[in-house]
Structure 1
Amino acid sequence: MAMRRIYQELLNFQAEKYFVTSLYLTLLPQERAERPPGYRIRLKTMINQLKHWLADREMEPAVRESVENDFRQLEEFFAEPSNTLGNSSLPVRGMALFACSAKGLFKAVHLPYVERNTLVVDRTPYVRRLLAVETDFGVNLLTVFDHRDAYFYLVDIQGIREAESFRFTRDREVLPPGVHAVRTPSGLRAFHGMGERNVQMLKLHEQQQHLKHVASTILEIRRTHPFDRLLIAAPDDLASALPDYLHDYVRRVYTGRIQANDKTPLNELYERVLDRLIALDREQERAFVEELGSSAPDRVAIGLEPVLQAAQWGNIRVLLYDTDYSTSGYVFYPSGILGLTPEEAPPDTDHIWHMPDIVDTLIERALEQGAQVEPVQSAEGRSAIQGVSALLRYPMPAT
């Protein structure tokens, strides 16, 4: 897949003595109509803030020139609106860009969303959030059906594509006992003596057969194209009945409904799936915050300092962070250990890099260690995590 290929290229990139500029930028739909677009103003502010920060840092002239050229390339890229448009009019609510002008690196990646605006200059590209977005988005099966037709779409970070479709109508059907009728393409043809009760039995039978067909198709698709979640769009009576027809294997990944029908354009289907996934993420956020409050003290780290200690031990299972929280810190090379003061540098340190926002580096480090990273946006959640918190893999004594 294209995302995995770009991820691997960036992961293997060697900047040598130079720095890599990594940018994650939200592109809100309402900002595109503004002049200039709101995301360009936000980017310019981020660049100016980082320029002031870097002005006080010691850097070789060639290294500084490379970083300044990175900033220029970023602004030129977003000056062209077409660069922010996705394929097939699919929604792009965020972008990731990576640049190292001195080494000829410039990569731009369209994303369905970005949780936290980030502009960072460091020895390596902050690339692991790319893979995290792809993993969190996953592969989703969207089933859009009514009383006659059914359409099945696979939706992932790359786009949306039809996997299967069918129509229920056939020339002749086997009806339940006691129902004397034939359904033809021109409509229902009744035999002598057919009454209202038989019509209702026929409708119920047709619905049951249709739901069985939908459920069996979903199961077959799961066998050939494994998916992480099942979403449906259907009239209320069908939507409420379908879960009873699903195989247990499929029912476990059923995650609810969206509002759509067979006339909804593909790009709108994608947008509504994305909105549903974001809502599910907010539900997961609440569950993690509740777990943080109910866990034993030695199974959580609350606040930046204990979380940095947990990261040093590779002990973060879930990192919870306030999307608006930032504070400066240090990266000690070659160990890569993070700290809040220069005095925390380990004995083998040969270079200390002062970061304007150590939280971005912490997120990258947690992902590198295989942790799940969860942004926290609710007021009560932000109060509970105190900037950043973590659910731990194993007990860690308080320091």
Structure 2
Amino acid sequence: MNSLKEALGILLKEQYAPYLVSSLYLRLAPEDRTDRKYLRVFKDMVKAQRESLELRGLERDVINSAVEDFERMEEFLSKPENLENCGGIALFSCSAKKVFVPIKLPYTYRNRLMVAPDPLVREIAAIDEELGIIGVLLIDRKHVRFFLMDFEGIGEVSDFLEPLATRAHKFHSGGASLKGAQGTFRYSMPSRASAPNMVQHGIGEYRFHMRIQEEKHRLFKIANDALMEAWKENKFNKLVIGSIREDIREIENHLHPYLLNMLVGYVRINPSEATEHTVRNAVLELLWQKDREQEEELVNTLLDLEGKGLAVEGLSKVLEQLYMGNVKTLLVAENFERSGYFCPVSNIPVLEPKCPTEEEPYPVEDIVDEVIELALEERAVVEVIVREDLQKKFDGVGALLRWKI
């Protein structure tokens, strides 16, 4: 499979007229993979698109090319090995031009299948921007590992830290391999000698616990120093920390404010057993959980700002604001669908079969797909509300606005 840059290069250099490009975004979460549910979802979308194509007044060879696109997509999706290590897939096809490009995604906004004059790649760009570059620190008593993760994958930065080893007689920092903290610390056990008449085992126990505490804080400080060096080199914009230590959150007392502001959360993972695949899955699961936690805040913000003229809900009102470029954040209930029309010249979705210019709209099975695409074109943030109880609180779609109406 091509890299993201290569895939987009292939898609964007081609001239597709008079043919159309089929663009598919398909979610592949674990629940979607059960009994290959995603294939049933895809076939339902294909059925709706084939009916829509017949109503668009297209040339027969253009329709045949799109139908062949659907067949090629189904063939690709039928092979499980094509769908490994991703939370979603984007497929772009124009059979008449011999173009077929798959792109694995960490996630998708929702399932969408569209047929348009050009490949609809804005969602990929938006996801890439949202995800950014994530630094992942794994730490326990004997290991400190660092990974960099982005849209395309994850890789361990092998020269970030060598494993830290605790010895009964000293604490050492990792030597020359530790960037930013080379040879900084050396800890020696206190003398075994003591004053006369002292209880030896009591002092030893006290010193043992103090040594453990000091060792922990020095380890956390070393990790912070090395993280700062890594940030200077790679400029990651999110930080995730993984550990099986019960006291791992105490590392926040040592993190630089820059790093603390980037901290997304923690994942429970054993550094000595972690692989790139398990780390990536754990981080994506954490991000998914964080999105679910933010849903309630987003919906409450929508309802609060609606009375102040800074938000609207309902498809017609949201479309009105999209036409003016006044949507900052688009909220879409995951299960909301509505039929409508699309104006192919002005590239806007409408609820009634009437375009603002002299052009003939064609019907679409689900206008919400086109609403999302228009929002992405206007650089709005798209938030899909998954929780069913929150979906009932607003009218299918809502928008936080850029300026007051």
Counterpart contact for 2:171–2:215, Cα < 8 Å: no
Between the aligned partners of 2:385 and 2:16, the Cα distance in structure 1 is: 33
Question: Where does residue 193 of structure 2 map in the other structure?
Answer: 192
SS at match of 2:391: helix
Look up the SS of the partner of 1:321 in the other structure: strand
Q: Which residue of 2 aligns with 1:160?
A: 154
- Counterpart selection for 1:201 from 206, 210, 229: 210
**Aligned match of 1:281:** 291
Deviations 1:56-106 (A, max 9, x none): 432211111111111111122222222222xxxxx2221110111122221
Change (3 A) 1:73 1:237: closer
Paired position in structure 2 for 1:179: none
- Report the alpha carbon displacement of residue 11 of structure 1 after superposing the two structures with TM: 4.6
Once residues 57 and 384 of structure 2 are traced to their aligned partners in structure 1, the CA distance between those partners, rounded to angstroms, is 33
* Contact map agreement 2:141 2:165 (CA 8 A) in 1: no
1: CA distance between counterparts of 2:369 and 2:245? 44
Which residue of structure 2 aligns with residue 222 of structure 1?
A: 231
The answer to whether structure 1 residue 54 and structure 2 residue 64 are counterparts is: no
Corresponding position of 2:280? 270
Out of 176, 187, 210, the position equivalent to 2:219 is 210
Aligned to 1:95: 89
Residue identity matched to 1:192: A
SS of the equivalent of 2:58 reads coil
CA contact (8 A) 1:148 1:210 kept: no
Taking the aligned partners of 2:59 and 2:215, their CA distance within structure 1 comes to 75
How far apart in 2 are the matches of 1:321 and 1:205?
A: 50
1:2/1:174 Cα in 2 relative to 1: closer, same or farther (>3 Å)? Answer: closer
Match of 2:15 in 1: 14
Q: What's 2:107 paired with? A: 113
In the alignment, the residues of structure 1 paired with residue 274 and residue 319 of structure 2 have an alpha-carbon distance, to the nearest angstrom, of: 47
Output the CA distance in 1 between the equivalents of 2:397 and 2:151.
27
**Shift in CA distance, 146/140, structure 1 to aligned 2, threshold 3 Å:** same
Task: Write the mapping of 1:353-372 to structure 2, written as runs, cut at 5 A.
Answer: 353-372=362-381
**Cα pair distance change 1:361/1:12, threshold 3 Å:** farther
The Cα of 1:30 is off from its aligned counterpart by: 5.4
In 2, are the aligned partners of 1:99 and 1:106 still within 8 Å (CA)? yes
- Paired residue type of 2:323: Q
**Percent pairwise identity:** 30
- Partner amino acid for 2:332? Y
Query: Measured at CA, do residues 13 and 351 of structure 1 come closer, stay the same or move farther in structure 2, by a change above 3 Å?
Result: farther
- CA shift at 1:304, angstroms? 0.4
SS of the equivalent of 2:361 reads: strand
What are the superposed Cα offsets for residues 158-209 of structure 1, whole Å, 9 maximum, x if unpaired?
A: 222112223334887589xxxxxx968xxx6853236322222222221221
Report the counterpart of residue 88 of structure 1 in structure 2: none
Aligned pair 1:83/2:82, yes or no? yes
8 Å CA contact 1:316–1:391 kept in 2: the answer is yes
Rounded Cα–Cα distance in structure 2 between residues aligned with 1:64 and 1:255: 46
The one of 243, 246, 253 aligned to 1:234: 243
Secondary structure in structure 2 of the residue aligned to 1:384: coil
- Pairwise CA RMSD: 2.4
TM-score by length of 2: 0.86
Q: 1:4 to 1:305 in 2, by over 3 A?
A: farther
Q: Structure 1 unaligned segments of length 5 or more: list them.
A: 86-90, 176-181
Deviation string for 1:211-245 (max 9, x for gaps)?
11011111111111111221112244541210010
What's the counterpart of residue 337 of structure 1? 348
- Map 1:345-356; keep pairs closer than 5 Å: 345-347=355-357, 349-356=358-365
Paired residue type of 1:286: E
Q: 1:9 to 1:311 in 2, by over 3 A?
A: farther
After TM superposition, give the deviation of residue 277 of structure 1 in Å: 0.5
Structure 1 residues 235, 44: closer, same or farther in 2, change over 3 A? closer
Q: What is the aligned length?
A: 378
User: Which residue of the partner structure matches residue 326 of structure 1?
Assistant: 337
Report if aligned partners of 1:183, 1:189 keep a CA contact under 8 Å in 2. Answer: no
Whole-angstrom distance in 2 between the partners of 1:301 and 1:234:
43
What SS does the corresponding residue of 1:374 show, helix, strand or coil? Answer: strand
Question: Is 1:303 the counterpart of 2:314 in the alignment?
Answer: yes
